[in-house]
C-alpha cells in the first residue's frame, strides 16, 4: 500500500518544495473539470488544508471519471510550487487510482451542515473541516497535558474504571453487574451482591481521585487522565455520560500550593494551544467563535484573583445585578455568580477557596474554623468553574467524623482509612474535565461536539 513511502499533506504544505514521484493518499473533497484539465482537492486528515491536484490531459486516466467527492484515492506525481497562488503547491499526477469509490448519496455534501445533523452521522463527521480540527486539537492538548506533568516529575496513573467506592457520595453512577436482570438473587427481599461478579456492588467510576491518593502517598506526584462515567439524566450542552478527566494528586502539598499548580497548568495549556495549535486556533477564531485567540491571549496576561468563599458571598450580596439564585452564606455558587465574579467584579480569572463544608465532599480537609473546608474552584470568564480541587483530610479522626456527617458508606473505605493510619501526610489535588476544557479553548458550544463519539442519555449509537 506504500504506507511508509507516501507523503502526508501537512508537511508538504508546511514546506512547499518541488519533488518528483511523490505518493499521496486521501479523500477527495472537491472535483472540478475544464477542457483538458481536471482539478481535485484532496485531504488526508493530517491538516485542515487540502492538496490541490492538477490533472493535465485527463483522458489519460481511465479511473478519473469514476472519482467523485468522498472517494478514497492514491496519486503519484510531481509536486510543483506555485508561490503566486493561494495554495502554494500543487501535485501533477502521473498515476491516479481509485481506492474506494463514493456513490452520489454521500451524506457530506459541499454545503455547510449543521452540527445537529453531523451528530447523526458521527461516523463521517471527522472528515469535515470543523471536526477534523476539533479532533486534531483534542489529540494535541491531550499530549500537552502529559507533557506538563511529565516535565514536572509526575507519574501517570491509571485509576480503575470499575470501582466499589462511591467517590462523591452521589447516586449518579452506572452499575456494573453480571446478574441476569430477570433473576437477581435476593436475601430477605434485598439484592445479594455477594453472588455478583465481584462479590460486592460495583460501579463505573465517577472520579479517579480516591485511588490516585493511594499512589500519591507512595510515588509523591501522580496524575490520572482517563474516562469518567456519570449517569446523570441532565441533557444539557455541558453534560455527557462518559468523559475524560485529569486529576493530579500531590503528597506534602497544601491548598495554596495546589492552587498555584492549577493556575500554572491552565496557563500552560492556553499557551500551548496558541503556540502549537495555531492552525486549529485560527480556524476556531474564524469559524466557531470570534476572538477565541484574543480571549486566550488576554487570559494568559492576567493573574488569578484569590478570594475566600465568604468574601465572594459578600461581593455577590453587594452586586447591583439581580441573580436568578439568591446568594447567602452556605449556598452553592451557580455559574451566574461565578461569571459575575470573573467578568464584572474582577475582570480576571478567579480562585475561590474555603467553601462551607456541607456543600463540598467528605474527603476535603476541615479548616480550623470547623465550618469550611480547604476546597478551591478555579473560575474563568464565560463559563465559571473549570477546575475543582481541595486539600484532602489527612487526620483519621476528623475524616471519620466527616464520613459520618455525610452518610458515606464506610465498608468500602477501610483502605482509605489505612492511608491515614500508616504514614499519613497532607496531600492535595484537583480535577479538570477534559471536554469542558476543550469547549472553552475552541469555543465549541456543545460538549457533544468535542468528543469523537459522545455518550448521552438515550444515545450511544456509534
Which residues of this protein are in contact with ligand ATP, per CB under 6 A?
Answer: 168, 230, 232, 238-240, 243, 245, 385, 388, 431, 433, 435-436, 447
Closest approach, Cβ 385 to ligand ATP, in A, equals 6
Q: Which is nearer to ligand ATP, 127 or 238 (CB)?
A: 238
Do residues 226 and 159 touch, judged by C-beta distance below 8 A?
Answer: yes
Q: Which is nearer to ligand ATP, 137 or 243 (CB)?
A: 243
Sheet holding 221-229, edge to edge: 155-157, 221-229, 242-251, 427-433, 384-391, 372-380, 350-356, 305-308
Closest approach, Cβ 234 to ligand ATP, in A, equals 7
Q: Which is nearer to ligand ATP, 371 or 455 (CB)?
A: 455
Closest approach, Cβ 77 to ligand ATP, in A, equals 46
Long-range contacts of 95-99 (CB under 8 A, 24+ apart): 96/55, 96/61, 96/63, 96/64, 96/67, 97/63, 97/73, 98/63, 98/66, 98/67, 98/71, 98/72, 98/73, 99/25, 99/71, 99/72, 99/73, 99/74
Q: Which is nearer to ligand ATP, 16 or 388 (CB)?
A: 388
Q: Which is nearer to ligand ATP, 320 or 458 (CB)?
A: 458
Closest approach, Cβ 410 to ligand ATP, in A, equals 21
Q: Read off the DSSP letter of residue 182.
A: T
Q: Which is nearer to ligand ATP, 242 or 271 (CB)?
A: 242
Do residues 224 and 414 touch, judged by C-beta distance below 8 A?
Answer: no
C-alpha distances out from residue 111 to 60, 114, 166, Å:
31, 10, 47
Closest residue to bound ligand ATP by CB: 433
Q: Provide the pairing of β-strand 88-100 with 72-82.
A: antiparallel
SS3 448: helix
Closest approach, Cβ 140 to ligand ATP, in A, equals 19
Closest approach, Cβ 433 to ligand ATP, in A, equals 2
Amino acid at each position: 500500500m506504500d504506507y511508509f513511502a507516501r507523503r502526508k499533506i501537512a508537511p508538504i504544505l508546511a514546506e512547499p518544495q518541488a519533488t518528483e514521484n511523490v505518493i499521496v493518499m486521501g479523500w477527495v473533497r472537491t472535483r472540478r473539470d475544464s477542457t483538458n484539465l481536471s482539478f481535485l482537492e484532496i485531504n488526508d486528515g493530517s491538516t485542515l488544508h487540502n492538496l490541490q491536484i492538477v490533472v493535465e490531459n485527463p483522458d489519460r486516466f481511465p479511473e478519473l471519471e469514476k472519482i467523485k467527492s468522498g472517494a478514497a484515492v492514491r496519486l503519484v506525481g510531481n509536486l510543483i510550487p506555485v508561490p503566486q497562488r493561494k495554495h502554494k503547491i500543487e501535485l501533477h499526477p502521473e498515476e491516479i487510482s481509485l481506492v474506494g469509490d463514493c456513490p452520489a448519496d454521500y451524506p457530506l455534501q459541499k454545503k455547510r451542515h449543521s452540527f445537529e445533523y453531523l451528530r447523526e452521522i458521527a461516523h463521517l463527521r471527522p472528515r469535515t473541516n470543523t471536526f477534523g480540527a476539533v479532533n486534531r486539537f483534542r489529540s494535541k492538548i491531550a499530549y500537552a497535558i502529559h507533557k506538563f506533568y511529565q516535565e514536572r516529575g509526575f507519574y501517570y496513573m491509571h485509576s480503575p474504571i470499575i470501582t466499589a467506592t462511591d467517590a462523591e457520595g452521589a447516586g449518579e453512577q452506572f452499575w456494573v453487574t453480571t446478574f441476569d436482570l430477570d433473576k437477581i438473587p435476593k436475601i430477605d427481599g434485598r439484592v445479594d451482591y455477594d453472588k455478583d461478579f465481584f462479590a460486592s456492588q460495583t460501579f463505573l467510576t465517577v472520579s479517579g481521585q480516591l485511588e490516585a491518593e493511594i499512589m500519591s502517598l507512595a510515588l509523591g506526584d501522580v496524575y490520572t487522565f482517563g474516562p469518567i462515567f456519570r449517569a446523570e439524566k441532565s441533557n444539557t450542552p455541558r453534560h455527557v455520560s462518559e468523559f475524560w478527566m485529569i486529576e493530579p494528586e500531590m503528597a506534602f502539598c497544601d491548598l495554596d500550593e495546589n492552587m498555584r499548580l492549577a493556575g500554572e497548568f491552565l496557563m500552560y495549556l492556553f499557551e500551548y494551544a496558541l503556540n502549537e495549535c495555531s492552525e486549529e486556533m485560527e480556524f476556531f477564531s474564524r469559524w466557531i467563535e470570534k476572538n477565541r485567540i484574543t480571549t486566550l491571549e488576554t487570559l494568559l496576561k492576567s493573574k488569578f484573583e484569590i478570594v475566600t468563599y465568604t468574601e465572594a458571598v459578600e461581593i455577590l450580596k453587594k452586586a447591583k445585578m439581580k441573580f436568578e439564585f439568591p446568594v447567602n452564606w452556605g449556598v452553592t455558587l451557580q455559574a451566574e455568580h461565578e461569571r459575575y465574579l470573573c467578568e464584572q467584579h474582577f475582570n480576571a480569572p478567579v480562585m475561590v477557596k474555603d467553601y462551607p463544608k456541607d456543600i463540598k465532599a467528605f474527603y476535603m480537609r476541615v479548616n480550623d474554623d470547623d465550618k469550611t473546608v480547604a476546597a478551591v474552584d478555579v473560575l474563568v470568564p464565560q463559563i465559571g468553574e473549570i477546575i475543582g480541587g481541595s486539600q484532602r483530610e489527612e487526620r483519621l479522626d476528623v475524616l471519620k467524623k466527616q464520613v459520618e456527617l455525610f452518610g458515606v458508606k464506610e465498608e468500602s473505605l477501610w483502605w482509605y482509612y489505612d492511608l491515614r493510619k500508616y504514614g499519613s501526610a497532607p496531600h492535595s489535588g484537583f480535577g479538570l474535565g477534559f471536554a469542558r476544557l476543550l469547549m472553552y479553548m475552541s469555543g465549541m458550544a456543545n460538549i457533544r461536539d468535542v468528543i469523537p463519539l459522545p455518550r448521552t442519555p438515550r444515545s450511544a449509537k456509534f
